[in-house]
Amino acid sequence: MENNRFELNKNLAQMLKGGVIMDVTTPEQAKIAEAAGACAVMALERIPADIRAVGGVSRMSDPKMIKGIQNAVSIPVMAKCRIGHFAEAQILQAIEIDYIDESEVLSPADDKYHIDKTAFDVPFVCGAKDLGEALRRINEGASMIRTKGEPGTGDVVQAVRHMRMMQSEIRRISSMSEDELFDAAKELQVPYDLVLYVHENKKLPVVNFAAGGVATPADAALMMQLGAEGVFVGSGIFKSGNPEKRAAAIVKAVTNFTDAKLLAELSEDLGEAMVGINEQEIELLMAERGK
Amino acid sequence: MNIGVLALQGAFAEHEQMLSKLGVSSFEIRQEKDLKEDFDGLIIPGGESTVQGKLLRELNLFDKIKALIDGGLPVFGTCAGLLLLAKEIENDERVHLATMDITAVRNAYGRQLGSFYIEGEFKGIGKIPMTFIRAPYIGAVREDTEILAETNGHITAARQKNQLVTAFHPELNEDLSVHKFFLEMIAATHKA
């Protein structure tokens, strides 16, 4: 067996499991995140809450800014490109990013096609609302999946909805008889072999994280109990009153997500959580981008 | 036989699956009270050494686990686990359990583009699959540390008494031989 980039890239996601990936916009924030126990950082110019507030077209970050963050920390550094913008992805690969997030948080560059991620050596993580989206992204070469949730809101409701949807569809596929899988593949608009994998293994073929709206240790524990293998926290940390303390508490909550007594201690005195926006107040549904 | 798997962060589930394929029971160590269980060996998995090192300290596991290893508990560290056991890390001031006489080099192959798969010789086993993910290697061994594998001119597996480390991830491939090697180490300790 020679070097199989897809396997190696899936393997890196396996190493991130049980961890928290944090959005950072400066080398200083990246250092705070690393010191608080982040297993990776997502380098971006504006966190989702600010992207919402500012509006306009949101693009890949300045490579110089990303390199500054790569130099500041020793943990993996991820960065976002627009859905379908393979040139941005090529640029991120050229600066040796550890993971590319083809993300609905940025303005989509293509309203029909996602990036052919099999053409790249660096790994991709993609968002999904349900099993069909997740398997379509994996078929395109994504080696890690996260729920879309609703970024920049501090409202966990949609991450919960997407995780529950994925898990319930996985349970449904797992319990099917084998002759029903062909039709399930048609219905989900995905290749049969991916459906067969889910049927046999009762899980996605790649690691699955929660993202989009996680703001507290309790939110993180909720997502882990619902079946997430780790958590992305975007605006939730650096839009809160005490980022260091909140970040460290969320890290510990992910490790001990079933210990309510410890979670109670971790939830104490964290200062103000990000204010957040309720689902009904959102004008822009990022989760509807890229299906 | 019962093996404790440090489950603070990283690829601990993969190790548990390997052990279960070998018919050995295991349990997860996530906090202090988990150490009450009786166990014959400890696995420290791959993941991020910075995260695991921090959580070891903050969840009050650090001193107890260090004392157990110093007292002879067989331990097997892969990748981040190797870094946690190393007495010295060439490119990082932070050391962690520091129980093994090796100097590790962190992220020695660079970023994810430097990750690779190879089949290589492991002393006493033969050719085995080796998956390196943002891996370290061992720059130097001291005292009675024995070199078990060298890959492209760098030390990638070693043993010192009760401690076994690999820079690669045996838990990511189907081959069970390195885990078997560790179980034999434990069995030999019981006999001695």
Confidence of residue A55 (pLDDT cuts 50, 70, 90): confident
Residues of chain A contacting residue B113, judged by C-beta atoms under 8 Å apart: 93, 96, 121-122
CA gap A240, B5 in Å, rounded = 34
Among all residues of chain B, which has the CA nearest to that of A231? B9
Q: Which chain A residues contact residue B129 at CB under 8 A?
A: 1
Contact B16, B5 (CB under 8 A): yes
User: 């090529």: which residue's tokens?
Assistant: A90
Q: Return d(Cα B41, Cα B29) in angstroms, integer.
A: 12
Tens digit of pLDDT per residue, chain B (192 long)? 999 999 999 999 999 999 999 999 999 999 999 999 999 999 999 999 999 999 999 999 999 999 999 999 999 999 999 999 999 999 998 999 999 999 999 999 999 999 999 999 999 999 999 999 999 999 999 999 999 999 999 999 999 999 999 999 999 999 999 999 999 999 998 776
Shortest Cα distance, chain B CAs vs residue A285, angstroms: 32
- Nearest of B62, B7, B42, B13 to residue A259 by alpha carbon: B7
Question: Chain B interface, mutation test: which of A2, A8, A98, most B Cβ atoms within 10 Å?
Answer: A8
Q: In this structure, which amino acid lies at residue A291?
A: K
Partner A contacted by B127 (CB < 8 A):
no
Maximum Cα–Cα distance across chain A: 55
Nearest-Cα distance to chain B for A13, in Å, is 9
The pLDDT tens digits of the residues spanning A128-166 come to: 999 999 999 999 999 999 999 888 888 899 999 999 999
Q: Decide if A284 touches B, using CB distance below 8 A.
A: no
Percent of chain A with pLDDT over 70: 96
What are the structural domains of chain B?
2-191 (3.40.50.880)
| A43 strand-pairing partners | A24, A79
Residue A78 confidence (pLDDT): 98
The answer to whether B95 contacts chain A (CB < 8 Å) is: no
Chosen from A71, A74, A95, A259 to mutate, greatest number of chain B CBs within 10 A: A74
Question: Closest by alpha carbon to A21, among A36, A49, A40, A37?
Answer: A40
Question: What ipTM does this complex have?
Answer: 0.95
Q: What is the pLDDT of residue A275?
A: 66
Dump the DSSP string for A56-118: S---PPPHHHHHHHHHH-SS-EEEEEETT-HHHHHHHHHTT-SEEEEETTSPPS-SS----GG
For residue B59, the chain A residues in CB contact (below 8 A) are 252, 255-256
B13, B47, B58: residue with CB nearest A39: B47
pLDDT at B192: 62
Contacts of A4 in chain B (CB under 8 A): 117
Please tell me the distance from the alpha carbon of residue A234 to that of residue A201, in angstroms, as a whole number: 30
Q: Per-residue confidence at A3, pLDDT binned at 50, 70, 90?
A: low
Q: What is the reported pLDDT for A2?
A: 54
Distance CA A220, CA A154 (A): 12
A183, pLDDT greater than 70: yes
pTM of the model: 0.95
Q: B117 and A1 in contact by Cβ < 8 A?
A: yes
Distance from CA of A252 to the nearest CA of B (A): 7
